[in-house]
Amino acid sequence: MNRSVHREHTEREALVETLVAKGIKDEGVLAAIYSVPRHTFVDPIFERRAYEDSALPIDCQQTISQPYTVAKMTELLQVKKYDKVLEVGTGSGYQACILAEMGARVFTIERHLDLLNRARKMFDKLGYNIASRTGDGTVGWSEYAPYDGIIVTAGAPEVPQSLVKQLADGGRLVIPTGSQQSQSLVIVTRKGSEFGYSEIGGFKFVPLVGKEGWQK
Ligand code: SAH
């Protein structure tokens, strides 16, 4: 192993330890965080900070979420192998790759074509088979619905009902909702025709912009 590869592995190990210390327990999530090279998703000027537990800027004034947030949301989604998962807000593509690494069949939507093109290159480079398109993800992706999991990685004013409608029986939706300054993660679980809601406070995301999101 050359020195830089070794450094990345040591840093990724340290990141996993940080996440465990912050309460992440799902072994599948931790293994995926260890496997997916986050430094390849960030701008070269931030590469050295890729394994710190912080959000970092990407193009189009967006951010790659903080690793803790990615881990927490993925844990809340309770992803199982072969689950069909919809992600709204592809951004860098990192979260989509974490889900794919865990064996999910991933569908992801991004409103900025520039970001999506870049993310698609990453999917190819790392060998993940992920379906993606541009558009407004607040209305979901009805062609492939229903989904076992739906994860929204941008903050909404409220839970888009179109997404709730695309949940499979037994499915879970994880979405930050609140003001544009701070949000809670809302977890919607579907059991037959019953929908359960719970939430965890204290998160900060870029805004979800669209028909069932913020207007801008
Ligand atoms: N999951 C990403 C995080 C990106 S930040 C990652 O791992 O890097 C959230 C992303 O949501 C931004 O790229 C933003 O452009 C996108 N977004 C915001 N509103 C959207 C909408 N209505 N539909 C699809 N993408 C949206």
Report the C-alpha gap between 193 and 211 in whole angstroms: 25
pLDDT at 66 over 90: yes
Write down the pLDDT at residue 5.
73
Give the whole-angstrom CA distance, residue 146 versus residue 169. 8
Assign 35 to helix, strand or coil: helix
Domain boundaries, the chain: 3-203
Residue 102 banded pLDDT, cuts 50, 70, 90: very high
Rounded distance between C-alpha atoms, residue 112 and residue 45, angstroms: 22
Run of H or E including 114: helix 113-126
To test the ligand 1 pocket, which listed residue (153, 166, 177, 212) has its Cβ within 8 A of the most ligand atoms?
153
Q: Which amino acid is at 147?
A: Y
Among 65, 92, 132, 162, the active-site one is: 65
Is the beta carbon of 73 within 6 A of some atom in ligand 1?
A: no
Whether the CB-CB separation of 139 and 160 falls below 8 Å is answered with yes
DSSP codes joined into one string, 115-143: HHHHHHHHHHHHT---EEEES-GGG--GG
Question: What's residue 9's pLDDT?
Answer: 84
Q: Are strands 183-191 and 167-178 parallel, antiparallel or unpaired?
A: antiparallel
Give pLDDT, residue 216. Answer: 77
Mean pLDDT confidence for 171-178 = 98
Q: Domain 3-203 in CATH: superfamily?
A: Vaccinia Virus protein VP39 (3.40.50.150)
Q: Other C-beta atoms within 10 Å of 164: how many?
A: 17
Alpha-carbon span 62 to 60, nearest angstrom: 5
Average pLDDT over residues 173-196: 97
pLDDT of 161 reads 98
For residue 3, what pLDDT is reported? Answer: 65
Return the structure tokens found at 172.
């879970």
Q: Is the CB of 95 under 6 A from ligand 1?
A: yes
The mean of the pLDDT values for the chain is: 96
Mean pLDDT, range 115-137, rounded to an integer: 98
Please say if 184 is a catalytic residue. Answer: no
Quick one: which atom of ligand 1 is closest to the CA of 64? Answer: 8
Per-residue pLDDT tens for 7-25? 778 999 999 999 999 999 9
- Surface-to-core class of residue 40, CB atoms within 10 Å of its CB (0-12 exposed, 13-18 middle, 19+ buried): middle
- Give percent of the chain above pLDDT 90: 95
